């Protein structure tokens, strides 16, 4: 079918999802975007955020901490640094993500400091969206 595409979401720890979708919303580093069937080939860096899959069996949401997305006319592959279904996200998970991002910021070079500061902010926004709190002080 022309209105369905393949999607895959993987992290180094596990393959989280694979199936058929009508759209995949991705938190791109340069802005959020939606991949749909017959999308132009694209490779994008992703930022911490929520990947939303509008699949043939309903809507699925996953928290990702960064990575890459490869989009083709046939489908979308999200290769996440870390990812999990939003149902599994707890305050402890957010605290761990913020701690790792803050440690990276403390060890950042002058060239990468802004990027790591943005990562801390992005995680705080995701936490807020999920009704959790990111302690970034």
Q: Is the pLDDT of residue 53 over 90?
A: yes
What is the spatial distance between Cα 95 and Cα 90, in angstroms, rounded to a whole number? 9
Q: What is the pLDDT of residues 28-45, one digit of tens each?
A: 999 999 999 999 999 999
Can you say whether residue 65 is alpha, beta or left, with left for phi > 0 and alpha for psi between -120 and 50 degrees? alpha
**pTM greater than 0.85 (yes/no):** yes
5-86 under CATH 2.60.15.10, yes or no? yes
């Amino acid at each position: 079918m022309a209105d369905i595409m393949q999607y895959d979401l993987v992290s180094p720890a596990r393959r989280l999802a694979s199936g058929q979708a009508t759209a995949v919303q991705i938190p791109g580093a340069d802005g959020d975007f939606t991949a749909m069937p017959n999308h132009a080939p694209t490779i994008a860096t992703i930022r911490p955020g929520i990947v939303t899959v509008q699949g043939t069996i309903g809507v699925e949401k996953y928290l990702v901490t960064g990575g890459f997305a490869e989009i083709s006319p046939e489908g979308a592959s999200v290769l996440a640094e870390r990812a999990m279904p939003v149902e599994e996200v707890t305050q402890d998970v957010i605290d761990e993500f913020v701690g790792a991002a803050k440690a990276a910021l403390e060890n950042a070079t002058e060239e990468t400091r802004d990027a790591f500061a943005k990562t801390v902010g992005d995680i705080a926004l995701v936490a807020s969206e999920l009704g959790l709190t990111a302690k970034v002080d």
